[in-house]
Every structure is written in C-alpha cells, then in structure tokens.
Structure 1
Amino acid sequence: MSKLLLISLGKLGGAVLEAAARDGRFPHIIVATRNIAHARAKANAARIGAALEGQYPRIDVVAFDFNAPNAPEILRKIQPDLMFAAPTYLPWWKVAASGNAKLKALPFAGWLACHLAPMLTLRAAWEKSELHCPWVGGTYPDVVNAILHMTGQGPSIGIGNISECLPKIRFLASQHTNAPIPELVIKLVGGHALSSSFYRDEAIKELPPFLLQVLWHGHDISLAVKDKLRSVKMAVEHDAEINRITASAALDVLASLLSDEPYALHAPAPNGLVGGYPVNISRKGVAVDLPREWMLEQALGVNAAALAFDGITAIEKDGTVIFTEKTAAALKALLGEEWPRLKPDDAPAMAAKLVALVS
C-alpha cells in the first residue's frame, strides 16, 4: 500500500489532506507535523468527510520538525513512497490580508526568502535521510524548486500555477468552438505570474510571455483563444480559500508519481526547470511534453522572460536571484537596506526581516 507523506499542515497542506482523503488513489496518508493536536483533529475531519463520500484511507499523524536534528531519522523511519511539502514562513494570503499598502506593493518575488528558507531546511533533512522516492514541492515551485536543484537535490515537480490557467483556457476554447471540453487538446508553457493574472475582475493590460496551443480535432484555434484571454474577466476571491483550487491541482500530480501509467498534465518546475510546462508523469519519472513545433530552448526562454513579471531579472547558476529594480527599490523601502539580489544562504536572514514586518 503506497504511502503519501504530507509535511506540515498549513492552509495548502490541510487542503491537500482533505482532497487526497476523498480522492480514492491514496490509501495511506501520513501527516508529519509539529502541532500534533491540530493534525489529529484535521485528520479526523478528513477521515469523516472521506467516509461520507465512500472513501476510507488510513491516515496517521507523526510528530516531526524538519528543523530538528532527528528529522532525517524520522523521514527514514517513515519510508514514504511519495512526499509533498509546502512550508513557508509567510504565505501570500497573509500579506494580502494585512491591509498594509506598502507590503502589498512589494512584487511577489520580494517575498521569495520566506518561501525558500524553510524549503532549504527541509531539503537538508531530506538529503541526510538518504531517501530516494519522488517528492513534490508546492511553495512557489516555479522558482524555489529550481533553486533547490541548482544547489543540491530538489523536488521532482511542483503543483498549481500553470495548471490553474487551464480551466479558463478550456472554458474560452469551448465557447469559441461549441466543442465539449474533453475534445480540446491544450499545451501551455508559462510561469507563476501568468496564473496570478488570469482570475481577476478587470481586463488584463499585459500578460506575461507564454506559449499556447489549442487543438480541436486537429484544427488549431490557438490565436482565437489567445486573443480572448486578456479581455475576459473571471474573478475569484484571492484569499486563503484559494488553496482549495491548488489542492485540486495537486491530486493528479501526486497520483501520477505513484502510477505505472503516465499522466499527461501541466505542472511547474519539472526536474527543476524554471516555470511551468506540459509534462508526462509516472512512477518512472517526469518528462517535459512539448508539441513538435516548440523547442525546449524556446520554452525555457519564455519562462525566463516571464520572471520579470514576478519581480526577478534572472536566476544565476548557483541559485542567486537577481531582483528587478522595482523589487529592489521596494525591499529597500521596507527593510531600509539594499537587497538587489538574494543568495540562497542569505534567505533565512532576509525572511526573518520580512516576517517581522507582518507579525
């Protein structure tokens, strides 16, 4: 019986637990976290909800702190078949809820240290555990997972972001052709900033760079769909509840890594690449699945260019992030010091300064 290990239970981890318990493809779920009482209550709620929907997974709770010296030993003892983790010191929705205009003015990448620092700590425990099963990183994966791969071992794949763009594309393509959505074949390359642009209550002035192919029975309707993406409004509430959408995006990715048969999906950071891609995933691994018309170098270039819309100029080979001038200026205004770039080793110090602004 395959074991899915969930590390910690923040808003996203909790949503993934609820979704996975009801899904039927995860017979044994293990939650490893510091807050045992909270985790047991969440696990009980997930079991009850799943049972009401006819699913009865085994859910265990294990005391675990990836900052502790015994973290590698606990991971080794659990021996998961698959691990999912999305730790952060400061989730984006908490910043959004702060009501502080100065904090909201900081581009998304300005908060990178808060996402990268805990993932670096978890990765250190993972490496020492000497486990070799796949793992999925859900914390700003387009960038964080790429940095992890540049500096050591990294997650096999991420979740969300690019895959969350697909419903709007499918809806528009179906309306344009009067075609049933299952008859549409879509391939998309794009970064985190694309997904954050899609579901707003206003027309989009400028979309980040992306590649899109939409086929209906061999007919290419990509241009017609692409022209509508900026003008069609499709608002959702941008608060903590949006994690339920990301949890839905996680299910097929997690299930595919336990499957002998490949899944054709979209996901960020396959094998540490920056940005999101169409992929084939199975227990054998992850492979980018581009249309024949697109070269991998072209897709990589599109996602590298899209980083500017998050506030990043470039990511160097050692994982150092070069911020845009706008991001660097906003960080100086908030922190009172120059941060034109972020080296991975400096992430904990910068994260502590940023968290102090919101706490």
Structure 2
Amino acid sequence: MPRGTVLITGGAGIVGRYATDFLARSSLVKKVVIADIKKKEGETVKYNAQIGSATMWNYPKVIFEKVDLTDIDAVVSLLKKHNPDVILQVATMLSSYFYAHLAEKVIKDRGLPYEGHLAGHTIAKDFVFTYYVMQALKEANINARVVNLAFPDITNYILGKIKLEPTIGAGTTDLTATGIQLLVAEALGVPIHNIDIRLVAHHAIRVIDPKKVPYYLKIMYNSEDITSQFDTIELFRKCIQITNYGIIIENSSMTASSAVSNVLALLHDNGIIKHSPGPGGLPGGWPVRINYDHISIMLPKEISVEKAIEINLKGMKYDGIDRVESDGTVVFTKDSVDYMKDVLKIDWPTVKPDEALDMAKDLIKAYKQLAEEINYKGIFGG
C-alpha cells in the first residue's frame, strides 16, 4: 500500500498550520491528521487546509484529533488508530518568537556578557513533547518515521543518547544552507539548483556572530569548488538576515516548508540530498540523503564524520549547553546557569529527560514574570 498518511503533533500552532496547508496541497499526501490539545484552533486549521487544497484540485483527507501530548497512552492510541507513515513533530511548550526576543532585549538592556540568547537554556520546552511522542511511538510499535522540528540540533542528540531519536530534524541548517545557496546563485546570476552546498553547522551559527562559531562549508558550481570566491562569514550574516525571524515578519512559513520538505522526501523515498539537523540522533546540522529506510550522511571527502561531530558539539556550547551525558542528562554552560539564576531566578545546572516537564514549567513561569516586569508585549504583539 502506498505511503501517504502524515500525523502532525502540534498541528494547531503557528508552524503547524503552515505545515498542514503545505502537506494538504501535495499529491503525495492522502491523509493529514492534526493532533493538538487546542480544538478550536485545530478545527480551523483543518478546514483551512481542506478548502485551500481543494481550490488547487487536491483532496486529501484532513482530520483533527484532540490529544494531550503529555498523555502517552492517549498518543499511543492515536498512533495505532491512524498508523501514520510519517509523524511531523512541531509541538513546543513556549514559542521562540516570544522568549528569544525578550531574552535578547534583557541581555542588551542590562549589558549582560552573553552571546545571543543562549538558546539551549530553554531546551526543556522543546524536548518534552518530542520525548513523549517518541516514547509513544516505541510503545505503539508501528513503523513510522519522525521529522522533529522542535530544536532538533539538540533534542535529537539528547534522544539519541537514550535510543529514542527521531529519524531526522528540520529547519536551522536547512534554512541556512538554502539561504547561502540562494545568495551564491544571485551573485553568479545562475539558477539556485545549479549551486551545490555542503554545510556542517550547529543552530548557534544562526543566533550569534558566525565568525565565532565553528563550521564547515563547501560551495560548488558545475562540480567546481568555488568556496574561495566568497567571504563565507558575510554569506552567513546575510543568510541569517534573510532567513531568521524578527526582521519584518516571523519565518514560520520557511520553517514549516523545511519540515514538510523532509516529510515529502521520506514519502518520495528517492534519495533526495539536502541539509537537516539531528539525523539519526547526531548533534547539529548535516548534509544528508533521505530515504524512507535510511538517512545517509553526505560529507565531502575533505571532512570526516568525527570532525563534523566535533564542529557541532563545539557549536552546541555557544547555544549554552556544555554536554549531554550518556543517560540524556543535559549539562548547561556556566553562562546559561548564571543567566537562569540572575535573570529568570531559576536554578537548573542540569536537566534529566524525566525532569524536562518541570523545567519547562519553570521556564514558562519565569519568562511570563519577566515579561510583566518590563511590560514586554512581544515583537508580534503577543
């Protein structure tokens, strides 16, 4: 039986609604299941997707299922009921569009000595739902692939330590590589698909000065290495500017597109080569070939897997995470610990997988209190 059923956990959220729309318009997708606790929003997303796809002469089945993703038994039942070919995990407990700009504002206004917003200190908010979904998938014992969009550079790596890693991530490195591909194509005046990129980089390169974050980048045109023709640091800076959020509008559409691209690549099962974070539980971002039964790492001969892992683990420290222990315990950097103590008034030097829900609740409470303290409404009015 042809594959074509996709279940989206967190499908009623900002990114989820874009992902649902995009999937419903693909002829590869026969059924989309939106799984979320927000019924009103979920039903709205469902009808938007159905009507939008119908105007483009595509008629998949779109279903909304109300579910609490922290209820593993309920998620198991949902998975067994729909038996999805691919699960797209986009749920998070706190939107980055809210906290990241708040953190950056406080760090800047108070003159604090931190790079970016130490994104890794909020890993719990992204880890929780992904952790529960992967536990439910294991218990349901169905043959589904998982694309995780919730901080996959780190979340997938943590889950890999405890043998619960998603198939692949999405966003971050994919947007970075594609942004560089576009800038190079524009500079040369050639179609974007004529430019071949091989990038190894952690999410951190998108949120602090790229000159400080380790990376590997190779740019090819007509099979010729043309990397030396470009100022790669300037490419990163321009790329982040055109693909990151907070310039004029948020980048939810691009982020969702990256996730849907990986879902469709899995359904296509024809070895599409692109970039993705967290393949098979690896840290950071990688060039990959995507097949349904296997994700291959597509590094040039000039760089080994071991070196690429080293680059990404160094990048992870710039995001505020020092290391991940073999049992999945996250050890935060001193900067992250100090920031959480001084600004958020919470004390979390480490977090174990089963402690993540408690930490996420502490983070949400702390950021809400911080926002009230400085009368912060969010860059998009939320």
Q: Same fold (TM over 0.5)?
A: yes
Structure 2 match to 1:144: 155
Looking at structure 2, the residues matched to 97 and 164 of structure 1 have their Cα atoms a distance apart, in angstroms, of 20
Say whether the 8 Å CA contact 1:191–1:306 is kept in structure 2.
yes
Looking at structure 2, the residues matched to 94 and 10 of structure 1 have their Cα atoms a distance apart, in angstroms, of 14
Q: CA deviation at 1:26?
A: 1.4
Per mean C-alpha deviation after superposition, the further-off stretch among 222-231 and 59-68 is 222-231
Instruction: Write the letter of the residue equivalent to 1:328.
Output: V
State the SS of the aligned residue for 1:76: helix
Per mean C-alpha deviation after superposition, the further-off stretch among 139-148 and 35-44 is 35-44
Partner of residue 201 from structure 2, selected from 190, 195, 201: 190
Structure 1 match to 2:122: 111
Looking at structure 2, the residues matched to 209 and 100 of structure 1 have their Cα atoms a distance apart, in angstroms, of 22
Looking at structure 1, the residues matched to 104 and 289 of structure 2 have their Cα atoms a distance apart, in angstroms, of 42
Looking at structure 1, the residues matched to 250 and 58 of structure 2 have their Cα atoms a distance apart, in angstroms, of 23
Per mean C-alpha deviation after superposition, the further-off stretch among 66-75 and 322-331 is 66-75
Structure 2 match to 1:201: none
Q: CA deviation at 1:353?
A: 1.0
1:23 aligns with 2:26: yes
Partner of residue 39 from structure 2, selected from 36, 41, 48: 36
Say whether the 8 Å CA contact 2:211–2:233 is kept in structure 1.
no
Looking at structure 2, the residues matched to 38 and 224 of structure 1 have their Cα atoms a distance apart, in angstroms, of 48
Instruction: Write the letter of the residue equivalent to 1:320.
Output: T
1:212-234 deviation digits (Å, cap 9, x = unpaired): 11111232111233153256473
**Normalised TM-score (structure 1):** 0.90
Question: Structure 2 unaligned runs (5+)?
Answer: 109-113, 369-382
Structure 1 match to 2:111: none
Distance 1:350 1:102, change over 3 A: farther
Partner of residue 229 from structure 1, selected from 215, 220, 235: 235
Aligned residues: 353
Looking at structure 2, the residues matched to 50 and 209 of structure 1 have their Cα atoms a distance apart, in angstroms, of 42
Partner of residue 59 from structure 1, selected from 44, 59, 62: 62
**Normalised TM-score (structure 2):** 0.85
Partner of residue 306 from structure 1, selected from 278, 294, 315: 315
Q: CA deviation at 1:129?
A: 1.2
Per mean C-alpha deviation after superposition, the further-off stretch among 208-217 and 1-10 is 1-10
State the SS of the aligned residue for 2:169: coil
Looking at structure 1, the residues matched to 331 and 308 of structure 2 have their Cα atoms a distance apart, in angstroms, of 21
Q: CA deviation at 1:207?
A: 4.5
Matches within 5 A, 1:234-245: 234-235=241-242, 237-238=245-246, 241-245=250-254
Distance 1:215 1:101, change over 3 A: closer
Looking at structure 1, the residues matched to 195 and 83 of structure 2 have their Cα atoms a distance apart, in angstroms, of 40
Say whether the 8 Å CA contact 1:187–1:214 is kept in structure 2.
yes
Structure 2 match to 1:200: none
1:178 aligns with 2:156: no
Distance 1:337 1:159, change over 3 A: closer
Say whether the 8 Å CA contact 1:183–1:217 is kept in structure 2.
yes
Looking at structure 2, the residues matched to 227 and 96 of structure 1 have their Cα atoms a distance apart, in angstroms, of 23
Q: CA deviation at 1:255?
A: 0.8
Distance 1:63 1:336, change over 3 A: closer
Looking at structure 1, the residues matched to 19 and 341 of structure 2 have their Cα atoms a distance apart, in angstroms, of 36
Say whether the 8 Å CA contact 1:136–1:156 is kept in structure 2.
yes
State the SS of the aligned residue for 2:328: coil
Q: CA deviation at 1:181?
A: 2.2
1:304-329 deviation digits (Å, cap 9, x = unpaired): 11112211222222222222221110
Say whether the 8 Å CA contact 2:180–2:236 is kept in structure 1.
no
Q: CA deviation at 1:143?
A: 0.4
Question: Structure 1 unaligned runs (5+)?
Answer: 198-203
1:22-73 deviation digits (Å, cap 9, x = unpaired): 2332121111222333212111111212222332222112232232333312
Looking at structure 2, the residues matched to 19 and 103 of structure 1 have their Cα atoms a distance apart, in angstroms, of 36
Structure 1 match to 2:6: 4
Structure 2 match to 1:73: 77
Partner of residue 165 from structure 2, selected from 132, 154, 164: 154
Instruction: Write the letter of the residue equivalent to 2:79.
Output: L
1:260-290 deviation digits (Å, cap 9, x = unpaired): 3111111011100001101011122211111
Looking at structure 2, the residues matched to 46 and 99 of structure 1 have their Cα atoms a distance apart, in angstroms, of 34
RMSD over equivalenced CA pairs, Å = 2.3
Q: Percent identity?
A: 26
Matches within 5 A, 1:322-341: 322-341=331-350
Per mean C-alpha deviation after superposition, the further-off stretch among 58-67 and 183-192 is 58-67
Q: CA deviation at 1:337?
A: 4.9
Detail structure 1 runs of 4+ shifted over 6 Å in the superposition: none
Distance 1:205 1:252, change over 3 A: closer
Partner of residue 352 from structure 1, selected from 332, 352, 361: 361
Distance 1:242 1:172, change over 3 A: closer
Instruction: Write the letter of the residue equivalent to 1:222.
Output: T
